Amino acid sequence: MEGSAREQFLAGKRFLREDNMDKALRAFEKAYKEDRENPDFMSYYGMCKALRGGEIGLGLELCTRAIKKEFFKAEFYRNLGKVYMAAGNKKGAIKVFLKGLKFDPQNEELNKLLIDLGFRNKPVIQGLDRGNPVNKFLGILFRRTIPNLFKKKKS
């Protein structure tokens, strides 16, 4: 029985990559209905239910429950952030994507989603305009050479 759920889940991920949201939703739903406690199934089913089925509340609930079970999976934060985006909550999505990056700083999809939402770090010299050539140069230099220099330290 578990093998079937895992196969449905993997098929759902494949359908997502192929941009076939309808088939992905059906596959994730089958997997989730076989094992309602699996955080992977929960997160992906919740995301698809919100994006394709329009059930934002259910999507938020399932994606949040998945994160509570396995808080270290960046893909769960991506899924929850996409639900926030579907709900029109850009600030919430940015916050969730940034949390996901704490667990996987190199996650290309999370970084791309943040850029797509227009998220940018503060200028290096905050007294100068972001477009000032000095700020632009320093921003590019620091981002390329010492990318973690200005990140907030954990207290």
Indicate the domain borders of the chain. 2-119, 122-155
At residue 151, the pLDDT reads: 52
Residues 120-129, mean pLDDT to the nearest whole number: 77
Residues 87-107, mean pLDDT to the nearest whole number: 93
Reading the block at residue 1, the tokens are: 């029985």
At residue 23, the pLDDT reads: 96
CATH of 2-119, one of 1.10.240.10, 2.60.40.3080, 1.25.40.10, 2.40.440.10: 1.25.40.10
Query: What is the DSSP secondary-structure string of 20-73?
Result: -HHHHHHHHHHHHHH-TT-HHHHHHHHHHHHHTT--HHHHHHHHHHHHHH-TT-
In b/e form, how buried is each residue of 34-54, taking b as 16+ CB within 10 angstroms? bbeebbbbbbbbbbbbbbbee
Residues 148-152, mean pLDDT to the nearest whole number: 52
Of 2 and 102, which is predicted with more confidence? 102
State how far the Cα of 86 lies from the Cα of 105, in Å rounded to an integer: 24
At residue 147, the pLDDT reads: 57
Confidence at 68, pLDDT banded by 50, 70, 90? very high
At residue 31, the pLDDT reads: 97
Helix (H) or strand (E) holding 2: helix 2-17
Of 128 and 64, which is predicted with more confidence? 64
Reading the block at residue 138, the tokens are: 């320093």
At residue 2, the pLDDT reads: 54
pLDDT of 99 over the 70 cut? yes
* Alpha-carbon distances of 57 from 80, 100, 127, 144, rounded to whole Å: 11, 21, 42, 40
Cβ 89 vs Cβ 99: under 8 Å: no
Cβ 59 vs Cβ 50: under 8 Å: yes
- The pLDDT mean for the chain works out to 88
